[in-house]
Copies of this chain bind each other. A is one copy, B any other.
Amino acid sequence: MTATIKDVAKKAGVGLGTVSRVLNNHPSVSEETKKKVLEAIKELDYNPNAIARSLKIKSTNSIGVMIPDISSAFYSDIVRGIEDIANKYKYNIILLNTDLKREKEKEALITLKEKKVDGILFISNTINDKLKKDFRKINIPVVLIATKDKNEEFHSVTIDNEEAAYKATEYLIKLGHNKIAMLAGKNDDPNAGIPRIEGYKRALTENKIAVREDYIFHGDYKFKSGFQNMLKIIKLKDKPSAIFAASDTMAVGAASCAMQHGFKIPDDFSLIGFDGIELAQYFYPPITTIKQPRYEMGAKGMEKLLKLIQGEEIEKGEVLEFELVERSSCKLKGD
């Protein structure tokens, strides 16, 4: 049997209240009894039962992390940021994969409710109305990471996707390119989809380059869709000289396709990605990209959640800085 507070009290010859007090180092305990208790604790190799404690104080020091897929490089970095901060403040994280499925989100939420987590971090690229309704009803602080709701009803930490896409496209334009294709996300993705397309278009328009819809290819951010869309691009009579991909993985898929067909990066196509995952860095040639501060998004999200839990008033939407990191996949047009 594992020792309880009662055993400790008996051994130390004090009441249980006293043991509890030294455990939570309450001031009003004499040094002497404190010593006795500490000794008994050591002798019995006693560990407090967090479950019992939680039941009593109605707080678990656990937070729930809902994530599309922990095995995705983009998301796992976020979780690392979360865990580091959580750990620092003695919180633990319960991890649930949602696969972006409404059904799994729903189940996850029920679990989290039953397990009485003190807060929830919801990581995704989108949030649907039903889930919002659930979040509203539940009486647990929530912060969204890498997504936000239109009305800013919930707290969130994101980057400015439109602006980032604008900068990426502008970078290509400044390099002299005027035929710039985009490997985009989907038109119904309010975070990584639409805003990045809009930023791309705005950069073009502001620089007096006509937007060509036939230069926009929609994909799912994965390697294969980058590869396949690139297949279409290299078949174009009027080829672009530069490409902006809405994810590094698609960028790499496109690069692989191009190289496999005898083209060179950046000689034949300048290429800029999005996300800043390791893959882009380690690819050859290393891919220039918009780096999202993934670790910081997680860390910041956790910090916000902590404040919310403590009842502090904080700003709703936190927009973090992205960074354009130049590597070797882009060059001056015609250089």
By a beta-carbon cutoff of 8 Å, the part of chain A in contact with chain B is 2, 45, 47-52, 54-55, 60, 62, 69-73, 76-77, 79-80, 83-84, 87, 92-97, 110-111, 113-116, 137, 139, 223, 249, 252-253, 255-256, 259-260, 278-279, 281-284, 286, 295
Contacts of A50 in B (CB 8 A): 114-116
Contacts of A252 in B (CB 8 A): 282
The smallest C-beta distance from A80 to any residue of chain B, in angstroms, reads 4
Copies of this protein in the complex = 2
Q: Is the CB of B60 within 8 A of A70?
A: no
The one of B47, B83, B115, B282 in contact with A70, judged by C-beta atoms closer than 8 angstroms, is: B83
A49 to B260: give the CA distance in the assembly, Å. 57
Q: Is the CB of B94 within 8 A of A94?
A: yes
Contacts of A93 in B (CB 8 A): 94-95
The one of B77, B110, B113, B284 in contact with A71, judged by C-beta atoms closer than 8 angstroms, is: B77
Q: Is the CB of B95 within 8 A of A115?
A: no
What are 20 A-B residue pairs whose CB atoms fall within 8 Å in the complex?
Answer: A49-B55, A49-B114, A50-B115, A51-B54, A51-B55, A51-B115, A51-B116, A69-B80, A70-B76, A71-B79, A73-B73, A76-B76, A92-B94, A93-B95, A94-B94, A95-B95, A253-B282, A256-B286, A259-B284, A282-B283
Contacts of A281 in B (CB 8 A): 223
With A51-B55, A73-B73 already in contact, 19 other A-B pairs whose C-beta atoms are closer than 8 Å: A2-B139, A47-B110, A49-B114, A55-B55, A62-B94, A69-B80, A70-B79, A70-B83, A71-B77, A72-B76, A83-B95, A92-B94, A92-B96, A249-B282, A256-B284, A279-B282, A282-B283, A283-B283, A283-B284
The smallest C-beta distance from A165 to any residue of chain B, in angstroms, reads 23
Report the nearest B residue to A249, measured CB to CB. Answer: B282
Report the nearest B residue to A294, measured CB to CB. Answer: B71
Report the nearest B residue to A78, measured CB to CB. Answer: B71
Contact A256-B279, Cβ < 8 Å, known A87-B97, A115-B50: no
Report the nearest B residue to A111, measured CB to CB. Answer: B92
The one of B54, B84, B97, B284 in contact with A97, judged by C-beta atoms closer than 8 angstroms, is: B84
Contacts of A111 in B (CB 8 A): 92
A73 to B94: give the CA distance in the assembly, Å. 20
Contacts of A83 in B (CB 8 A): 70, 95-97
Contacts of A80 in B (CB 8 A): 69-71, 97
